[in-house]
Structure 1
Amino acid sequence: MPNYRNCLRLFFLATLLILPAACGGDAQPENVYIADAADDGQTVTMAVGDALQVMLAENPTTGYVWAIVTNDDAVLRLSDEPAYEAESDALGAGGTRTFLFNAVGAGTSVLRLVNARQQATAVEPAATFEITVQVSD
C-alpha cells in the first residue's frame, strides 16, 4: 500500500509544476522545498527563485485552521491563497492545508504558523509550526 504522505507530496509537486505552464503562468521555480510537521524547528537554505511548500494536517470542521503569524514578505512571499485538500468525503474528515511561498529576496525569514480558532484570540493554539528560511541571491 503506498505511503499517503508521499503520494500527497507527489500530487502537489506535480500540480505545482504543471499548472503554471498550462495556464501561461510565471517561470517555474528552480527548486521546490517541501516541508511538513516533521520539519518544525528546522532551517531551510534556498536561493531567490526557489519555492517552499508547507503541508500541514488540518481539520477546519473543528474551527481550528492554520494561519501565518510571522513572515518577512521581502524574503518569502505567499504565492496564492493556501489550498485545502480533504482526506475523504466523510463528514468531519480532516485533510491537509498547503501553503506555497516564493523566495523573492535575500535574507532570513522566520515563518511561524499557528493552528487556532480565528475568533478565539485568548485561547492557546492547538499546534504551532516554525521554520527558518535563509535565502541567498
Structure 2
Amino acid sequence: MKTFGSIVVILLGMGLSACHSPSSTGIAKTHIYTLKQKCPTLMEMKVGEILLFNAPENPSTGYQWQLAQPVQNFKTEETFLQKDAEDGAVGVGRIKTFKFTAQKPGQDLIELVYVRSWESAKQPEQLWQCRIRIS
C-alpha cells in the first residue's frame, strides 16, 4: 500500500508540474487595436509580443493604410480580409491588418497613415500612432 501511495504522490506531482501559466509556455501576448482605439502614451512590450492593428480601407478610392516610416525593432506583416460582396461588385472595402512582432529591445514609433499614394502624406486622411518600449 505504501508503494501505491508513493506512486499517486509522484503522479500528482508530475501532473501539477505540467500546469504552467500562459506566459511560461512561450505563448506571446497579443495587443489588438482598431482605428477607434488609442494606444497608451507609451506602451510596454516584451520581445516576442505582438501588436495587431485592424482598420477598414477601400483601395478602389485610392486610400490605403501604410507605415509613415519604417520601424526598427519589429517584424512587420500586412494582410487584408475582403468584405463579402456580390460577384462583379466594384468598390468593395476590406479590413487591413498590420502585425508587428517585437524582435529586439528598444523604442519605436508605429505611425500608420490612411493616404492616397500620389498625395502628400503630410496631411493624411487618418492617422494612428503608438510609441512602444520593448524590453
| TM more than 0.5 | yes
- Residue 85 in structure 1 maps to residue 58 in structure 2: no
Kindly, what percent of the aligned residue pairs are identical? 25
- When residues 67 and 109 of structure 1 are mapped into structure 2, their CA distance, relative to the original with a 3 A threshold, is same
TM-aligned CA distance change 1:129 to 1:122, over 3 Å: closer
Q: Which residue of 2 aligns with 1:31?
A: 29
Distance 2:122 2:43 in 1: 30
Tell me by how many angstroms 1:40 deviates. Answer: 3.0
Task: Give the count of matched residue pairs.
Answer: 106
Largest Rg, 1 or 2: 2
Equivalent residue runs for 1:33-48 within 5 Å: 33-42=31-40, 43-48=42-47
Question: Structure 2 counterpart of 1:115, which letter?
Answer: Y
- RMSD over aligned Cα atoms: 2.0
Q: Is the 8 Å Cα contact of residues 110 and 131 (structure 1) preserved in structure 2?
A: yes
**Residues 75-132 of structure 1, C-alpha deviations (whole Å, 9 max, x = no match):** 2221x3x111122224312221101111011121110011000012277321111111
Equivalent runs, 1:94-133 vs 2, <5 Å: 94-121=93-120, 124-133=123-132
Aligned residue identity for 1:55? N
Q: Relative to structure 1, is the Cα distance of residues 102 and 29 closer, same or farther in structure 2, using a 3 angstrom cutoff?
A: farther
- 1:72 alignment partner in structure 2: 71
The 2-side partners of 1:38 and 1:121 are apart by 24
Please give the TM-score of this superposition, normalised by the length of structure 1: 0.68
Gaps of 5+ in 1: 1-27
Paired residues of 2:68 and 2:121 also in contact (CA < 8 A):
no
- Structure-1 separation of matches of 2:57 and 2:125: 10
Alignment gaps of 5+ in structure 2: 1-25
Give yes or no for contact 1:39–1:131 (8 Å, CA) kept in 2: no
**Counterparts of 1:67 and 1:96 in 2: how far apart (Å)?**
13
